Structure 1
Amino acid sequence: MIIIASADVYYGDYFYLFAEQWRGSVTCKVAGFIAVLSSETSVFVLAIITIDRVLSVVFPFGKLKFRATSARVGVALIWTIAVVVSIVPLIVSSYISGFYGLSDVCVGLPLNVESTETGELVYNYERRVWEYLKYETTKRPSWVYSIAIFLGVNFLIFILILLSYVVIFVHVRKSARSVANPASGSGSSDRAREVKLATRMSIIVLTDFFCWMPVIIMGILSQTGAVTLPVSLYAWSIVFILPINASINPYLYTFIAICGGSKTRSTSSPTQKTRFSTAVSETRA
């Protein structure tokens, strides 16, 4: 955001004269790389957090659990994948040409369709003007790589997240009586803590979900030809919609840390300290 804002201040009212130069600049590519890296890392982390919550709440006695070591490995793997996804357009620029220069904000969100026209410039003797005669107009999805990432990978991940939390809350609803029963022992107490942690983590997941889903839905509608989105929507998406999640996440993580910290000091549980969600929260905070 700082890079984009700085470019806006630098070019000012004459940006239209330097638009092509800006889109092909190293600065624009760096801004796009950082934007895609941060957004994809956030999406991948939320997916792993959701899987951890499903394993802890729905399958509390299962053997497959995230521990401290696996949490570190998972975070390292997530960052590696996100870096690869972000750097591929720069390495294979001959195949993915100008990915980060497809918009003035340096993020190739698939919110419109590229139009390719075939025609000829001819001179009209009656009107004494040059006219462009259009023979054929073909449309193909612009930025296939962008569509694959934002409308493919991200959409599938958020559907997985949505279904996972539906499963979690349905399961919690069914087992609410056993969790609330004081005679059920320490196992029930641990289960209650897992449910509360899942509820808190769902707040973070849902904020990211509601920030990205409008972009995904608009992209699908645009690529299918259902609607034609205005160019100004790019600026609104980058400046207003997507940064909301990054802006409120620190407060959400602080809220979760405060709520969880007070309970951890009163009753410490060894299993609670090895959860992937806790490790990720500490890593991203």
Structure 2
Amino acid sequence: ENGIKDCSDGSDECPPDSTKDTVFSSPFEMIGNRVFRVILWIMGGISLLGNTAVCVMSIMQVRTAKSEPLKVAFLWLVANLSVSDLLMGVYLLSVSAMGSQFYGRYCYHDAEWRSSQTCSILGSLAVISTEVSAFTMATMATIRLFSVYFPVKMTSIKRATYAAPIVCAWCVGTLLGTLPLANYRSGYFVKSAVCMPRLFAKVGDAAWGYSTFIIVLNFCLFVYMACCYLVLYQRSRKVTKAGKSKSTRLLRTVAVMILTNFCCWIPICIMAFISLAGVKLDNIVYVICAGILHPLNSVLNPLIYS
């Protein structure tokens, strides 16, 4: 009636320029798997609400902790971490909302959607969120490590000591996220219906060098953070005078930090390296890594770092 057919009767009715079956989508739905649609809504909601709450509480606590510079430093780092993770929540909810808008007739909007500026911006938002979050967590690990080795100096930490890394994290993260937007022909965001950044690339693919750089960078940041926290625990164990219980609590906290980052990023990095070696990965691997593990840190960070 309105000139738009319902393509739920069969994929043969879809326009020839649409991708009828991609990693995430089906001819009828932008996010083909119903379970995955629910997971994206839940993760997006938790990320948005959780990070908003952490950001507000951290800023409120800054006012009551002015006499403790080190605590103020961590509160500002946590606030910035929550803002960067909040962007992932915006991305997840926006993609889910667009999927609902195209319900039952996605094939008629596929080509237009994946080549749209909105799709590229949402993909860019996901990269900015991930990279700023990673740089902020690395900064937090560094300051924590220094606070153990130089406790007296760090109790009077200067504002520039943590403000400069925060500004750099946002500048570098924003640059990395928006760089692909300068070349729309790279196809960095338009390969999947959910505009997810290309995590797994093969040598010679469009923007494969950029994808590899992002993966290697995040892998190095994870290794650095893991080393910082392991050294921090060993150092704290030697100097603490609070007994075994405090050492055990610290070990538990460090273990959770390392384990969550390991579960989120190491599988993605391993699969990316395997793909670079020329091995073809099943679509379900990409769905799990890009759609669940990639944004999972943004959901868990408010619980861990607050």
TM-score (norm 2): 0.59
1:30-49 matched pairs, under 5 angstroms: 30-49=121-140
Number of residue pairs the alignment of both structures matches: 213
Amino acid corresponding to residue 76 of structure 1 in structure 2: V
1:15-94 matched pairs, under 5 angstroms: 15-60=106-151, 66-90=157-181, 92-93=182-183
Greater Rg by CA? 1
SS in 2 for 1:140: coil
Render the CA deviation track for 1:11-48: whole Å, top value 9, x for unaligned. 23443453332211112112111111111111001111
Render the CA deviation track for 1:208-262: whole Å, top value 9, x for unaligned. 342122111111111112x3212243333343222322223223344xxxxxxxx
SS in 2 for 1:180: coil
Gaps of 5+ in 2: 1-91
Render the CA deviation track for 1:147-184: whole Å, top value 9, x for unaligned. 211x22111111111222222223334x1xx52279xx
Amino acid corresponding to residue 106 of structure 1 in structure 2: C
1:56 and 1:194 map into 2 onto residues whose CA distance is: 16
Call closer, same or farther: CA 1:66–1:152 in 2, change over 3 Å: farther
Contact (CA 8 Å) 1:52, 1:65: kept in 2 or not? no
Call closer, same or farther: CA 1:165–1:77 in 2, change over 3 Å: same
Q: Does 1:157 align with 2:218?
A: no
Pick from 193, 211, 219 the counterpart of residue 264 of structure 2. Answer: 211
SS in 1 for 2:280: coil
SS in 2 for 1:99: coil
Higher strand residue share: 1
> Equivalent residue for 1:145?
210
> Equivalent residue for 1:109?
198
Amino acid corresponding to residue 231 of structure 2 in structure 1: V
Contact (CA 8 Å) 1:52, 1:66: kept in 2 or not? no
1:194 and 1:71 map into 2 onto residues whose CA distance is: 27
Pick from 220, 236, 248 the counterpart of residue 288 of structure 2. Answer: 236
SS in 2 for 1:100: coil
1:11 and 1:181 map into 2 onto residues whose CA distance is: 58
Contact (CA 8 Å) 2:233, 2:250: kept in 1 or not? no
Q: Out of 44-53 and 244-253, give the one that drifted further.
A: 244-253
Amino acid corresponding to residue 176 of structure 2 in structure 1: V
> Equivalent residue for 1:172?
236
Amino acid corresponding to residue 93 of structure 1 in structure 2: N
How far the C-alpha of 1:4 sits from its partner, in A, is: 1.6
How far the C-alpha of 1:201 sits from its partner, in A, is: 6.4
1:252 and 1:219 map into 2 onto residues whose CA distance is: 27
How far the C-alpha of 1:195 sits from its partner, in A, is: 10
Contact (CA 8 Å) 1:105, 1:234: kept in 2 or not? no
Two-structure CA RMSD over aligned residues (Å): 3.2
How far the C-alpha of 1:104 sits from its partner, in A, is: 2.1
How far the C-alpha of 1:87 sits from its partner, in A, is: 1.2
Residue identity over aligned pairs, in percent, reads: 25
Gaps of 5+ in 1: 114-138, 183-191, 255-285
2:251 and 2:165 map into 1 onto residues whose CA distance is: 19
> Equivalent residue for 2:30?
none
Call closer, same or farther: CA 1:62–1:193 in 2, change over 3 Å: farther
2:305 and 2:240 map into 1 onto residues whose CA distance is: 26
Contact (CA 8 Å) 2:188, 2:198: kept in 1 or not? no
